[in-house]
Amino acid sequence: MSNAINWFELPARDHERAAKFYETILGAEMRRELFFGTPNAIFPYDQGGIGGAVIASDRIQPARGGTLVYLDTRGDIDGVLSRVEAAGGSIVSPKQPIGPVGYIAIIEDSEGNQVGLHQPLAD
């Protein structure tokens, strides 16, 4: 096993609103597709890397508790955090250093999910 996680899903009440939230804060386009009838907005990822999507599904609901997924901010955690509130989210825990592995922050997205942000230290 090369990674403990290979896919994640963030539930959304309003799928398009959630997709636009993440496109706005991350500054990246998400690919829209139907997967077995479920709308997905897929986060950009490198082939063979860990992928994930915002999904519209009745089987899981947005929540503050539970598993916390950390999204890569591509070296710009400050820029991502600066766009969260205008995009309809809130900052739960501001940027903080985590030693030699970089910085993290926690946000609440437009749907009520808490999501982590991570910025590794530059090599």
Which pLDDT tens digit goes with each residue over 76-116?
A: 999 999 999 999 999 999 999 999 999 999 999 999 999 99
Question: By the 8 A CB rule, do 43 and 31 touch?
Answer: no
CATH number at residue 79: 3.10.180.10
Residue 1 has pLDDT above 70, yes or no: no
If one counts the domains in the chain, the total is 1
Q: Is residue 45 part of a domain?
A: yes
Report the predicted TM-score, pTM, of the whole model to 2 decimal places: 0.92
Give backbone dihedrals phi and psi of 56, rounded to 5 degrees, phi first: -105, 105
Query: Where residue 28 falls among pLDDT bands split at 50, 70, 90?
Result: very high
Average pLDDT (47-76) is: 91
Query: Where residue 123 falls among pLDDT bands split at 50, 70, 90?
Result: low
| Dihedral, CA of residue 19, residue 107, residue 65 and residue 12, to nearest 10 | -10
